[in-house]
Chain A
Amino acid sequence: MTQIQQPATTGPGTERPAPSVRQPTFQWAAGPAIPLLSVVIALIFGAAFVLLSGNDPIKAYAALVQGAFGTPYDITETIVAAIPLVLTGIAVAIAFRTGLFNIGAQGQLLVGALAAGWAGSQWPTLPGPILMPIVIVFGIAGGAFYGGIVGLLKAVRGVNEVITTIMLNYTIVFVMHWLLQAGPMTAQNAFGTPASTPIGAGARLPIIIPNEIVLFSRLHAGVLLAALAVVVFWFLLWRTPLGYRLRAVGLGARAAAQAGIDPARHMILVMAIAGGFAGLGGMIEVSGVFGRVYDGFSSSYGFDAIAVALLGKNSPLGIVFAALLFGAFVHGGAYMQSHAAISSNLVAIIQACVLFVIAAEALVRGLTRRRGHKPVEAIA
């Protein structure tokens, strides 16, 4: 087989001073105009779709809004659904800011959940003030480990992070099957659903809304951890030298290298940090919502996270709003299905449209701005 010899930008055996990074495609000008527009377009498309399939779009959207915000309870549930999206959204966004595409937030979240679930059930009798920090550290460390693998392979072997993250997402699903169905973490009495042993009381995040205010609310202290994570994300990227270097690598790895910043090292670092955020998200789900790790829980947070990060323009506040919007979709969608008889999967269609419009926007902008610019990365 003859191949035209041109240096591959990724792949093994390619000696390069610095691995290439994704160009900052998604760092468009300030302002919420484009994200809002993409949501509006997506909602219109969704409405047209409902209409075409013989249903009433106004009824559908009314039910969606009613379901997401109709009662105080629903509002707290929407927030509960948004929490993991905030953390995985940050995991995607911080990598984007460094020029990497982290499709692996899903897997990182699961590893964090497994690590936290293991630690929480390993020492169930420890008091909260001791056990809780342990569980948090395990969650973050688990995710950071899984993200770090991606960064390491990228930095050392030039492996495209898109490939590794997709593969690792699926790998952990099967490892999880093993751990929870017939492995060391399998609970003896899980009532048919494969799950881990319940975590100790000290590892449970408390409900922060008392029953007198919102009856049966599930809003847990994880919301505070998520808020803290948003602040840390902002502070880290925009108020520390490390954040400056990460963003410099994202804006141009070669220029950063010229300025004495080692892109490879920062890629390993940022993927570990990204994984840490996602892992914390997994820990919060285990400690705040389920109390144990269920096999196959959280099947789509990681993919929603990409939409959240892109819609939120990889910025702290943007991510919060986007996560709340998607949280509303998730919680409201269930109500829509049961009360308006319209499949909650309408929500997925709307989300896909949001993503597609955003992708199209980035490139319409690219047509005008980046002409003559040569992208440097090959994606396999």
Chain B
Amino acid sequence: MNFLLYIEVSMSDNDRKLMIVLIVILVLFFILLGLIGMLIRFTMQQQAKHIDTYMHDPVVYRVVADPQHFRKFGHQVNHRLLYRQALVPFILGFASLLFYLIYAGATGTWAEDYFGHCSTLFFTWKWNDPSIYAKFWGVTLLTRWPDLQTSPAPNVAYWASYVLVPLWLITIVYFLVVIQAYFARFLMINRRSRTIYEKSLEGYNFYSTMGGYGVPTQPVNNPINSQIPPSNIPPR
């Protein structure tokens, strides 16, 4: 309480308003980040479930019967899935590279500002205007939204940038999503290899399973999928 009083005394009215705004912005920023993180996590969970489609039958039919084999088989499947999914961004990237080489070779301009040219399609603001910033306890903060610098003005001379930059961005984002799915499946394979071969003694009592003459009885619960014949494959 004394700390708050100290802040109350030492800050001017303008500083106090600025601090309240700063706190609200920070809280909203963290909440937004948390929501984005939760969205990414949910997406990864959905992507990870995809590996179960490929791992289900070999496990249920007892072809894959131990954690090491499960991981090995899972990673082989995961590599093939990655290759198949990454074909699209690779083809896009290769096409953009080919386009760039042909265009730059034909025009002789190998170091153009493609991203700068592409920004002519969007609004730009005067972010370098010093009057929109203020110092607050040594930290530079934005005090107001900057003025508009340029409106969208497409230029025919920049047509190559309008093709190349979207191609590059799509390729990068697509490949990142594919890698995220690969990472999610990688984690799921490791988790499943630990859980599906797990033996638990939770709820088990040694003496409750003894017969009348000290003979252990069979487990009460039959194994799941008992109708499936055992595999003839020797253990690896």
Same complex origin of A and B: no
